[in-house]
Structure 1
Amino acid sequence: MVRFCCPADLSRPSRRLTRSLRSALRRRALSSAAFAIVLASIPSITSADSWPQFRGPRGDGIVTEGNPPVEFGEDNNRTWKTELAGKAWSSPVIADGTIWLTSAVEIIPSEEERLELLKKTENTERQFKQLAIAKSIELKVFAVDFETGELKQTIELATIEQPDAIHSLNSYASPTPVIDGERLICHFGTFGTFCLDRASGELIWQRTLPLKHAVGPGSSPIIHNEKVILIQDGMERQYVIALNAKTGSTEWETNRPPMDAPTGDQKKAYCTPIAITDSNGREQLLCMGSQWMVSYNSETGEEFWRLYHGKGFSVVPRPIFDGEAVYFATGFGKPQLWAARVDGTGDVTESHVLWAVKKSIPAKPSPVLVDGLIYLVDDNGVASCIDREDGSNVWSKRLGGKFSASPILAAGRIYFCNHSGEVFVIKPGTECDIKVTNQVEGQIMASPAVIGDALILRTDTALYRFDR
């Protein structure tokens, strides 16, 4: 991977030039011609640099190269800031100098209209307070220039009239898109799945897979062996489906294991799958769901093994894998973190569980694994470090605030982002070493991305690029 030069790698004139460019970008004061001349004088990304899916190239929040800034803010190390229309918690994906983002522009009802719309749903009046609903939504894709922050293209995908209600903390565009070569796959749950040509922006194929999410979509797609893998765990039905990445046709479809739950509300889930290869050479899709963690044959959808984790539901955190074991959170209710071997067959509940931790486990943010230690932050702002070997707690520390975004590790530092726009930068280790707390405007629900020495951060209103 080609890496950005950090300030220490640049000559003094180059560093001055870079700072001048950033200052000009903030003021939007450069002419196009002048900007082109200056831009040619500083490092830029190549097609080798990409952040293609939720949680990055490896899907686990690990940045293998690059050195993003430790300190940043509205007036500190900010290269550019671009306002974005709509409401979306999906994370940015990046390739070939373009940042891609999905969004949903809502036509907001009045309070009277909102209540009337909610009365037409299957929700009870008791649930109305925690729900949001739009009169209609416009599903869009934004293409933003990585270097300048310029909004290069807005692609209109679909208009949905009277969409389902969602949770007030969710959005209609929460699943993160995925880049597959020249294609961009954008998934909006029950509202549609769209495949675009990245070069032209043209629609290649579209599928609609109806589902009762109850509180809106959440599971992001992944690409594996030319297949789009989607977890479809809704209220009325729970299944995993593989679509042909080129055509959108169904390759296979597999129902989830039976669940012991009084209502569909405790059967739904919003997790993103991971693809692994076990010690036996089997290519597995690990698809976490309510009550069960399940492994599927990536080619056929046949089940390899299943593990019962209890009554957890509405699972969000993406699992992580270390080559031998999978580590996964069990969802809402009373979240736990489990570790299990992946080399089994059939029901492995009694044979392959390594340990389970029951305290300060997130229902939404995913964990990150560094040098044998698992780092996570729960929804209420308590960060923890857990030993991978036995699940023992190494340390816990209250950071403060509410959390939904998943952390990333870059240049030996972990970045945790909360709803209030605070970004805590922590040095991994056996003690909680908070290096700095940064602040940006707006609410952070999307997980950050890193390309070279640039940190890309999405808030509820804008997209940022920060550099050292």
Structure 2
Amino acid sequence: MRIPFSVGAIVLSLFVLSVSGEDWNEFRGPTGQGEVSGVSLPVQWDDTDGDPENILWKQQLDGLAWSSPIVVGGKIYMTFASEEDEDSLSLQLIALDAETGIELWRRELWTHSDDVAMHKKNSHASPTPICDGEYLYAHFGPHGTACVTLDGEIVWKQKLEYKPVHGNGGSPALADGVLVICCDGGDQQFVVGLDRDNGDIRWRTDRETDPKKGFSFSTPLVIEVNGQQQAVCPGSDAVFAYNPISGEEIWRVDYPGGYSVTPRPVFGGGLVFVCTGFNKPKLLAIDPTGNGNVTETHLRWSADRAIPHSPSPVYFEDSLYVVSDKGIATCFDAESGEVVWQERLGGNFSASPIVSNGKLYFQDETGTGIVLKASREFEELARNSVGSSERTFASYAVDGDSILLRSESHLYRIGQN
């Protein structure tokens, strides 16, 4: 049921898309890095006292998923995992009207047994869909990947065989007609390129590692370096850059012992920034111009204090910002790795931050939104609540001047009212 509160209503993934400049078409938006420009997002909002501030609408959601919303052509698309009965789950893609929050259609893509082992912070529908303006691509790990029209008609389906640990997590990326997916299970680790038109496997490249714990959950980032596309794909023990058209390895940097890698890389100032996952996480700044194993030659700096296991970094104006899972925010000088400031925000964090109009937007695991000035001096601008204290692991999406916040059982549209 929809609860209305108001009647108010550099591209780094360098593949050619027909989405508009306003579309938030993949995990972390059109750049894949959580940066949005040309909009005026709200700084303050509240839904705690019966008189909501800047909450345009609130839509109740059925089913559970930690995937983020995407927005294309005035529609919001999200994945779900809904219980069909006590033994099976329905994996679904739904569309909502972006102005009203009303559900437009719902499509079941797969069903599978409910006995898959799942981490308490994961879901059966954690990867975020991606859209090229004509088709949607929804990924559920080894349970299935599907291409769907914007009206919900299924075009093709594909299954990739591997055994995830704690469920699936990483989202796909797109590059020149190829859907790039990291498949890092407990049994095998590889990266695959699917043909966007028919779902056929164009290439599969095994990761040349032998990790003690092979499972990871990262999302590729497609960049261009010296005229060549690279799909930067972190995994257990190492990060690899592949040619997204052929699957050929370009370079790698090793970090032995790192596993369950979740943050998506970011690219700025000529460097790729990668988090190395569990055991003790590190943040690596890598020059992506090399070939082969460049661990000893192209690692420009690293840091190991208050580095996130889950949230992705965000780059803005020669600074790199991160928040650790335990709520410590850090601003690094992106070129040197020098810590500019480090402050405790409080709370626990899984969602990845965004940056817009010189402001950083963080979100903790209970939906508290913390807005900071994106500056070399720490300044907190606002601390906001949606009131419910529901688990909130999905990352923000942006639609025009509004923020979309997905909690455990609601979707909020936050904007000036």
Structure 1 counterpart of 2:78, from 101, 108, 119: 101
Alignment correspondent of 1:53: 26
Q: Pairwise mapping of residues 301-312 of structure 1 onto structure 2 (< 5 A)?
A: 301-312=247-258
Alignment correspondent of 1:452: 400
Alignment correspondent of 1:443: 391
Alignment correspondent of 1:25: 4
Query: Matches of 1:142 and 1:234 in 2, distance apart?
Result: 27
Alignment correspondent of 1:202: 153
Deviations 1:137-181 (A, max 9, x none): 111111110111111111122221244111011100000000122
Q: Pairwise mapping of residues 58-137 of structure 1 onto structure 2 (< 5 A)?
A: 58-74=31-47, 75-106=52-83, 135-137=87-89
Query: Matches of 1:180 and 1:51 in 2, distance apart?
Result: 11
Deviation at 1:275, TM superposition (A): 0.8
Query: Matches of 2:269 and 2:142 in 1, distance apart?
Result: 33
Structure whose residues are more often helix by fraction? 1
Contact 1:239 1:254 in 2 (8 A): yes
Deviations 1:214-268 (A, max 9, x none): 100001011110111100011111000000111000111100012242xxxx111
Contact 2:306 2:328 in 1 (8 A): yes
Q: Secondary structure of the equivalent of 2:4?
A: helix
Q: Pairwise mapping of residues 311-460 of structure 1 onto structure 2 (< 5 A)?
A: 311-322=257-268, 324-440=270-386, 441=388, 442-460=390-408
Alignment correspondent of 2:195: 244
Contact 1:376 1:385 in 2 (8 A): yes
Contact 1:386 1:393 in 2 (8 A): yes
Q: Secondary structure of the equivalent of 1:304?
A: strand
Contact 1:66 1:451 in 2 (8 A): no
Is 1:276 the counterpart of 2:223? The answer is yes
Query: Matches of 2:335 and 2:241 in 1, distance apart?
Result: 22
Q: Secondary structure of the equivalent of 2:64?
A: coil
Deviations 1:19-75 (A, max 9, x none): xxxxx9327xxxxxxx8xx97xxxxxx955200000001000000221111001221
Contact 1:89 1:446 in 2 (8 A): yes
TM superposition score normalised by structure 2: 0.93
Deviations 1:423-464 (A, max 9, x none): 000001122211010001222211101122111111111111
The one-letter code sitting in structure 1 at the alignment partner of 2:234 is M
Alignment correspondent of 1:5: none
Q: Secondary structure of the equivalent of 1:328?
A: strand
Query: Matches of 1:325 and 1:455 in 2, distance apart?
Result: 29
Query: Matches of 2:295 and 2:265 in 1, distance apart?
Result: 17
1:314 to 1:108, Cα distance in 2 relative to 1, 3 A = farther
Query: Matches of 2:322 and 2:233 in 1, distance apart?
Result: 20
Query: Matches of 1:385 and 1:435 in 2, distance apart?
Result: 16
Q: Show structure 1 runs of 5+ residues with no match.
A: 1-23, 28-34, 40-45, 110-134
Query: Matches of 1:26 and 1:297 in 2, distance apart?
Result: 48
Alignment correspondent of 2:16: none
Is 1:158 the counterpart of 2:110? The answer is yes
Is 1:258 the counterpart of 2:231? The answer is no
Deviations 1:333-375 (A, max 9, x none): 1001000101111111110010110100000000001111111
Deviation at 1:192, TM superposition (A): 0.8
Alignment correspondent of 1:221: 172
Larger radius of gyration: 1
The one-letter code sitting in structure 1 at the alignment partner of 2:80 is S
Alignment correspondent of 1:462: 410
Contact 2:269 2:334 in 1 (8 A): no
Deviation at 1:190, TM superposition (A): 1.3
Q: Which runs of 4+ in 1 moved over 6 A?
A: none
Query: Matches of 1:330 and 1:159 in 2, distance apart?
Result: 33
Contact 1:66 1:450 in 2 (8 A): no
Deviations 1:389-447 (A, max 9, x none): 22111111111111100000012111100111100000011222110100012222111
Count residues with an aligned counterpart.
Answer: 399
Deviation at 1:213, TM superposition (A): 1.0
Query: Matches of 2:355 and 2:190 in 1, distance apart?
Result: 32
1:458 to 1:327, Cα distance in 2 relative to 1, 3 A = same
Q: Show structure 2 runs of 5+ residues with no match.
A: 10-18
Query: Matches of 1:259 and 1:392 in 2, distance apart?
Result: 33
Query: Matches of 1:258 and 1:158 in 2, distance apart?
Result: 31
Contact 1:68 1:454 in 2 (8 A): yes
Query: Matches of 1:244 and 1:202 in 2, distance apart?
Result: 18
The one-letter code sitting in structure 2 at the alignment partner of 1:65 is G
Query: Matches of 1:260 and 1:228 in 2, distance apart?
Result: 25
Deviation at 1:106, TM superposition (A): 3.0
- How well do the aligned residues superpose, as a CA RMSD in angstroms? 1.6
The one-letter code sitting in structure 2 at the alignment partner of 1:68 is L
Alignment correspondent of 2:121: 169
The one-letter code sitting in structure 2 at the alignment partner of 1:101 is M
Contact 1:364 1:405 in 2 (8 A): yes
The one-letter code sitting in structure 1 at the alignment partner of 2:110 is A
The one-letter code sitting in structure 2 at the alignment partner of 1:186 is A
The one-letter code sitting in structure 2 at the alignment partner of 1:274 is L
Q: Secondary structure of the equivalent of 2:371?
A: strand
